[in-house]
Amino acid sequence: MVKAANSRGDAPGTPPPTRILVVGGGYVGMYTALGLQRKLRSGEAEITVVTPEPYMTYQPFLPEAAAGSISPRHVVVPLRRVLDRCRIVIGEARRIDHAKRTATVTTLATAEEGTGDIEIEYDELVLAPGSVSRTLPIPGLADYGIGFKTVEEAIGLRNHVIEQMDIASSTRDPEIRAAALTFVFVGGGYAGVEALGELEDMARYAARYYHNVKPEDMKWVLVEASDRILPEVGPEMGTYTVRELRRRNIDVRLETRLDSCENRVAVLSDGSRFPTRTIVWTAGVKPHPVLAATDLPRNDRGRLACTAFLTIEGVEHAWAAGDAAAVPDITAAESGATCAPNAQHAVRQAKQLADNLVAALRDEVLTEYAHKYVGSVASLGLHKGVAHVYGRKLKGYPAWFMHRAYHLSRVPTFNRKMRVLAEWTLSGLFKREIVSLGSLEHPRAEFELAAGGHRPHLPPPPTPDPPKDSQG
């Protein structure tokens, strides 16, 4: 293990700059670092951001990226451009020893160097690694499940759906055709409902270009373990959403679980069986595993125990917000309530965290985080949506328009806003793109064939093929 270099060579008598380590480059990580570099004076602090990817993903746009309404490049924000006064380290934080003020990090170069992980020393810690998909020990899920949390997964799913339509169009086997045209989504929250709504809308449009695939040939299934979907928009709008999805011939199964998906057969708790080549898992998230590799206090759900000032309880010089943090909701009527782990809170918490951290460095008064949840909006496809904002309930086109307007105002940087707006404008003037770029998953396939190798099985399945069975 080696120690990362720290530039501490200040003039005699001048206090060295405070070393601030931000773990995570998502909403909280990026917005906190952005606030710090704007508010801190030159030489007052050194900000290091450790993140596994060199960009921040604006996740509310993932469904539209999957549907082809937005280019994948415009769903992400390059951290090096935005955080030009920060040191960006592309890597994974493996352990954090706050008692010693050190973080153990694996970078892209550590395996090549053969010297082991690096240690980064810090004075102030901002822990915002976000969350990861929460999975269950369901047989076959690890082999055939597709996530929907990253831009790579969104684009991969788009390619996959179009490829299944290609398979269905060209096969002579009715069982393979039926499995290719069956799409099962597990999870009735934002991610699952919006992804299903956008992709079903896209596939319905794409079907007009297939001579033997019609929208009614496709079977879309939404599986939700609770008795309603989209709880954030309220029971009335949730009921409307179920009704709207079923009107589009989408099979919504409430109070139902996925029991197995072995051999590409989705078996539900109500006894239903669906041979399928597409199982999208969006059934919630859990705190990032790095939280368990720290000496910081956590609550019973594994999130960091925080104060309303966004400091970690009982610990000095440690801060947290977003999905990884259990932040008290001081605006809630009931005591002990915590802020929901969503983007609406994360962006606002990051701004308050940056303000409080700067205030702490300057021995000023800290401010409690307080934000009353204003409501939610969700897209169900082109020109379709639901919203419950400031007590007002909207559905259909007005809700869809509000969804786009709200997220356009929230996506970071003026550059991204204009690019997204331009793409929306152009998509309203021209036809949708329905091209699958599945070869992106195997970019060297053509060259390997030319060099004397063998072309891999095309189109590539989402996971390795099992032994062939009667389900195809």
- What's the total number of domains in the chain? 3
Query: With contact defined as beta carbons under 8 Å apart, do 235 and 223 qualify?
Result: no
Six-digit token string for 159: 């390619």
- Rounded to 5 degrees, what angle do the CA atoms 32, 34, 37 make? 110
Cβ contact 332:345 at 8 Å: no
Same domain, 150 and 74: no
Does residue 279 sit in the same domain as residue 296?
no
Does the pLDDT value for residue 438 go beyond 80?
no
Q: What is the mean pLDDT of the chain?
A: 88
Whether residue 457 is contained in a domain is answered as no
In the structure, what pLDDT confidence band is assigned to residue 253 with cuts at 50, 70 and 90? very high
Domain boundary among 412, 427, 442: 427
- Out of 339, 361, 383, pick the residue that ends a domain: 361
Instruction: Kindly state whether residues 109 and 37 are assigned to the same domain.
Output: yes
> Are residue 124 and residue 139 in the same domain, yes or no?
no
Mean pLDDT, residues 25-31 taken together: 94
Same domain (yes/no): 171, 303: no
Q: Is the dihedral of CA 309, 299, 346, 370 positive or negative?
A: negative
Q: What is the pLDDT of residue 418?
A: 94
End residue of a domain, out of 258, 283, 308 = 283
Tell me: the pLDDT tens digits for 37-70? 999 998 999 999 999 999 999 988 999 999 888 8
Structure token pair of residue 451: 């060099």
Q: Based on the domain organization, do 415 and 275 belong to the same domain?
A: no
Residue 79 within any structural domain of the chain: yes
What confidence score (pLDDT) does residue 225 get?
94
The helix/strand/coil state of 278 is strand
What are the tokens at 387? 């919203």
Question: Do residues 305 and 198 both lie within one domain?
Answer: no
Residue 235 resides in a domain: yes
H-only helix segments in 127-189: 141-144, 151-170, 174-180
Answer whether residue 194 is part of any domain: yes
Angle at 283 between CA 278 and CA 289, to 5 degrees: 110
Give me the pLDDT at residue 461, please.
47
- The region of weakest confidence among 68-72, 112-116, 194-198, 271-275 is 112-116
Same domain, yes or no: 140 and 278:
yes
Q: 442 or 92: which carries more pLDDT confidence?
A: 92
Lowest mean pLDDT among 166-180, 299-313, 440-454: 440-454
- Are the CB atoms for 73 and 151 separated by under 8 Å? no
Which CATH number is 152's domain given? 3.50.50.100
Q: Show the domain range for 237.
A: 135-283
CA angle 210, 465, 463 (to 5 degrees): 80
Q: Which CATH number belongs to the domain containing residue 51 in this structure? A: 3.50.50.60
pLDDT in tens, 78-88: 999 999 999 99
Domain presence at residue 445 = no
Residues 148, 234 within the same domain: yes
SS3 call for 342: coil
Q: Are residues 319 and 263 in the same domain?
A: no
Neighbours of 466 (CB within 10 A): 14
The answer to whether the bond into 459 is cis (omega within 30° of 0) is yes
pTM of the shown model: 0.85
